[in-house]
Structure 1
Amino acid sequence: MTANDPVRIGRGGLTAPPVGYGAASLGNLYRALADDEWPEVVPAAWGGGIRYFDVAPHYGLGLAERRLGESLRALPRDEYIVSTKVGRLLVPQDAAGRTDIDNLFAVPADHRRVRDYSRDGVLRSIEDSLNRLGLDRIDLVLVHDPDEYEREALDGAFPALSELRDQGVIRSFGAGMNQSAMLTRFVTETDADVMMVAGRWTLLDQSAADDLLPAALARDVSVIAAAVFNSGILATDAPRRGDTFDYGPADRAVIDRAQAIREIAHRHGSTLPELAVQYPLTHPAVAAVVRGGASAAQVARNSALTDRTVADEVWVELREHGLISRSAVPARHAPAREGQPVR
């Protein structure tokens, strides 16, 4: 099986190659993309074999959804999956010359985010997203960062999404967070079938192996791994002082760990970024990895990180040195769940 072979995502019949594109950069994450720059991003992803696109209203106050929708318009709708998120409604306001850069997006602050995990909030959010995307359907809906709103999400958002899935309005649903503990509770307390975990199942942070991954495997819930570069340190083949880890400066211990992993990768003809993208897929609960990219060149480079399969010997040596979790096994040697091919 190659990186472009489709795998099952969720239980609603969705399939896509196991590397997707996270569209936060289309919302001017950190910097504004030029008018001749952003239209090249999705075509580069498509050319690299990507057929799963993840977005959210939060990204650029709706700009990422609008740009993604425009970029997908000429592509065959039945050949790709789109996921977006609920939990943050966008309410118009006077920007008064302000930007949204405090929330990391270089866009006018012409809307404000209002947290709403109620049934009505979910329905309104999906309707607004459909309008911004210009699509006739959204395949996968994720409850976005309900950290302080767990009860509201359990009482409102999840039952609403379950109802929409039963009605055939959406195919699958779940949650997207940068913690694994609450996602694990959602796995066990709801009938969601997809969870997106950001930064907690990576080469440098394998905490999701303690709770989310075994729970998801037991309940036939697909996990999507995001932020696999841990905000920067794993994005290049030369980790060094000044790199970021979880959106802050990486300390010496983290840098040393990344360098040790790189040395083992090099001995077997691989690179650190290749390991960073492929490692999450070694666990049989993980269906896909989502990577971003703010330019066609970045997206093409990220898409190519699965072109060369990392040798099993790399994972074995990393485990022997205590650098990665012993709970995961190379997925092509693990038993597949029914209906899901082994990667």
Structure 2
Amino acid sequence: MELSSLGLGTYLGAASEAIDAAYVEAALAFAAAGGNVFDTAANYRGGRSERALGSAFKALPRDSFFVSTKAGYLPVPEADSGESPRAWFQRVLEGPGILSAEDVVDGCHAMTPRYLAHQLDISRRALGIQTLDLFHLHNPEHQLPHLGADAFYATIARAFEACEGFVAEGKIRAYGVATWNGFRLPPGQEGHLSLARLLEAAVSAGGGKHHFRWIQLPLNLAMPEAFLAPTQPMGGAAMTALGAARTSGLSVQTSASIMQARILRQLPGGFAEAMGLQTPAQAALQFTRSCPGVATALCGMGRAAHVAENTAVMGLPKLEPAALEALFG
């Protein structure tokens, strides 16, 4: 399947039935417009985003779409349940032996094999899918300052071993890391992720035919580091995250392509028109989807009206690298 250059994200929105219904409508409109990549996470909207996509997927042939989800952050109990987070943790995770308090980093993040397996099975049920296309460790760099580099990459190796097991069991096709700061920061800065060390962990977990195939990182006109900043030492050279991924044979999803619409207020007047586009959102998406090495630019689309506006760029030729660089003077 050829993946669409835009993907529908599901991070934003209240945990309500109205937003659930809007996401179902948006997902079906996105598919009708030619989009086939959907991204979510176990903790998005308390798990409701996965379930909303699952409702939409019932109307779509399984071979017509690609779905990625994530695990790492602890979900929280339903807001109206009356259950405290501590009571929920003991009942759902600690009591059954899935996760201990010692396994939780910074009170909110875990990547133990048993916890990942638990979250993956919840996601598969919510999405109504036996085999997920892509399973990400969610912002794994959250643990890096707390563990230190050596312990962190050992934790990653164990998580990757678990993911190789999920592939063998037919639960996922590939795995990756969905990051925020990790690939944007330079070496030596707290929270920097080394793609080279992640690849070493993947080879350790799965050999030369490992299934670590994807990374996800933010990329937009206000956060262009993945395209411009040489943050990744690779083969004796300093490379951008996009360049290092391309050299390593990894595919890339970008998040925050319009930065939850905040970037649209920062663009100068006439910017979209100068690019031959009608709206600032289209201009921002055209930049991100055009960056070399980007497979799919993810964008939150919780309403069908957003889908119609954003998907208009999917049929356009991508900008040349020189034109992209010229945007930054």
Same topology, TM > 0.5: yes
TM-score by length of 2: 0.72
Q: Which one of the candidate residues 61, 70, 92 is aligned to 1:85?
A: 70
1:1-343 → structure 2 map (5 Å cutoff) = 7=2, 16-25=3-12, 28=14, 33=18, 37-90=22-75, 92=77, 95=80, 115-150=109-144, 151=152, 153-179=155-181, 180=183, 181-182=192-193, 184=195, 187-191=198-202, 192-198=212-218, 201-209=219-227, 210-211=230-231, 212-235=241-264, 239=265, 255=266, 258-259=267-268, 263=270, 265-270=272-277, 271-309=279-317, 312=320, 316=322, 319-320=325-326, 322-323=328-329
SS of 1:309 mapped into structure 2: coil
Q: What's the TM-score, normalizing by structure 1?
A: 0.69
TM-superposed CA distance for 1:300, in Å, is 2.0
Judged with a 3 Å threshold, the aligned counterparts in structure 2 of structure 1 residues 288 and 190 are, in CA distance, closer, same or farther, namely farther
**Residue 23 of structure 2 contacts residue 53 of structure 2 at CA under 8 Å; is this kept in 1?**
no
CA distance in 2, matches of 1:202, 1:320: 15
Structure 2 letter corresponding to 1:197: L
Which of 222-231 and 268-277 deviates more? 268-277
Cα separation, 1, equivalents of 2:198 and 2:271: 35
Deviates more, 1:270-279 or 1:80-89: 270-279
Label 1:162 to 1:277 Cα distance change in 2 as closer, same or farther (>3 A): same
Q: Tell me, what secondary structure is at the counterpart of 1:193? A: strand
- How far apart are 1:265 and its partner, in Å? 4.6
Question: Residue type matched to 1:28 in 2?
Answer: A
Segment of structure 1 superposing worse, 219-228 or 274-283: 274-283
Cα RMSD, aligned residues only? 3.2
Q: AA paired with 2:193? A: M
State the secondary structure of the residue aligned to 2:254: strand
Sort the Cα spacing of 1:272 and 1:186 in 2 relative to 1 into closer, same or farther, 3 A. farther
Which SS does the other structure have where 2:129 is aligned? Answer: coil
Residues 292, 111 of structure 1: alpha-carbon distance in 2 compared, 3 angstrom cutoff: farther
**What are the Cα deviations for residues 37-64 of structure 1, in whole angstroms up to 9, with x where unaligned?**
3431211111111111111111111111
Structure 1 stretch displaced more, 91-100 or 273-282: 91-100
SS at match of 2:68: strand
Quote the Cα distance in structure 1 between the aligned partners of 2:247 and 2:318.
27
Residue 134 of structure 1 deviates from its aligned partner by: 2.0
In 1: Cα distance, 2:22 partner to 2:72 partner: 30
* Cα distance change on mapping 1:166 and 1:274 into 2, 3 Å: same
How many residues align? The count is 273
SS class of match (2:46) = coil
CA distance in 1, matches of 2:262, 2:55: 32
> What residue number does 2:101 align with?
none
Q: CA deviation at 1:196?
A: 0.7
Aligned partners of 2:41 and 2:69 also within 8 Å: yes
Give the partner amino acid of 2:291: H
Q: Is the 8 A contact 1:196 1:223 kept in 2?
A: yes
Deviation, 1:114, is 5.1
Q: CA deviation at 1:203?
A: 1.7
Q: Which moved more, 1:296-305 or 1:89-98?
A: 89-98
Are residues 205 and 172 of structure 1, via their aligned partners in 2, closer, same or farther at CA, if it must alter by over 3 Å?
Answer: same
SS across alignment from 1:71: helix
**Partner Cα distance (2:84, 2:287) in 1:** 37
Structure 1: give runs of 5+ residues left out of the alignment.
1-5, 8-15, 101-109, 240-254, 324-343
Check the 8 A contact 2:74/2:110 in 1, yes or no: yes
Partner of residue 243, structure 1: none
Cα shift at 1:111: 8.8
The 8 Å contact of residues 187 and 219 in structure 1, kept in 2 or not, is answered as no
Deviation at 1:93, TM superposition (A): 7.5
Q: Any conservation in 1 of the 2:261–2:281 contact (CA below 8 Å)?
A: no
Of Structure 1 and Structure 2, the greater helix share is in 2
1:317 Cα deviation after fit: 5.3
Structure 2 stretches lacking a partner, 5+ long: 86-90, 94-106, 145-151, 184-191, 203-211, 232-240
